[in-house]
Amino acid sequence: MATPTDAPLPPRPPDDTDDELSAPELQRGVELREGTLTDADLAGHTLTEGRLTELRLVRGSLANADLSRCEVRRVELTGTRATGSSFAEARITDASFVACRLDLASFRFASLERVAFRDCRLDEADLYGATLTSVLFERCPLVGATLSEATLVRVELRGCDLEGLKGAERLRGSRMPWPDILASAGTFAATLGIVASDEPG
């Protein structure tokens, strides 16, 4: 059965002229494009208002890096540690995050279109006011994450832990497998203010 989420376009296939990229001098407005960065330590760097296009990041670290207001297009991150990173107000299009640490990451007021998160830790991630269009979350813990004031269009969640999710009402219209809906019943009940009849009043 077709899903409502459009698959992200991958970076273009590498050709014989594509070399492994070396970590560039990192600064505000930097542009990284057309290549692969493997095991690069970009932790704590400021890439504000930069551009990441046609890029693969394999492992390495973006922990506490500032990518706010960046343009991120046709990018794949695999096994990257990005705890506490900021993508606030970024425009992220055709991107895949696979087996990444994105706990405590900020996507406040970001725009995400055709983005897939697979096997990523998104505990306490902040998506306040973000716009998510054709976004897939697959096997991603979203424990304590924030969706308040977010706009979700064609979003699908599969095998995700939503315990303590803030702004769960923003999931209205999203797709989830029935077993996942049942597993998240406590979160949805809390959002609606429902109290189980067998609990003290």
Task: Determine the Cα–Cα distance for residues 84 and 103; give it in Å rounded to an integer.
Answer: 6
Range in 17-26, 76-85, 141-150, 155-164 with the lowest mean pLDDT: 17-26
The SS3 assignment for 151 reads strand
Strands 71-78 and 51-58 turn out to be parallel
pLDDT at 17: 41
Report the 10 Å Cβ neighbour count for 38.
Answer: 12
Host domain of residue 126: 32-192
Residue 100 lies in a domain: yes
Domains identified in the chain, total number: 1
| Average pLDDT of the residues in 145-159 | 97
**156-166 per-position pLDDT tens digit:** 999 999 999 99
Range in 14-23, 43-52, 125-134, 191-200 with the lowest mean pLDDT: 14-23
Q: What is the CA radius of gyration of the chain?
A: 18
Residue 93 lies in a domain: yes
Q: How many CA atoms lie within 13 A of 22 on its CB side?
A: 1
pLDDT of 170 > 60? The answer is yes
Residue 165 lies in a domain: yes
The enclosing domain of 146 has a CATH number of: 2.160.20.80
Residue 20 lies in a domain: no
Residue 139 lies in a domain: yes
pLDDT of 79 > 80? The answer is yes
pTM passes above 0.75: yes
Mean pLDDT of the chain: 89
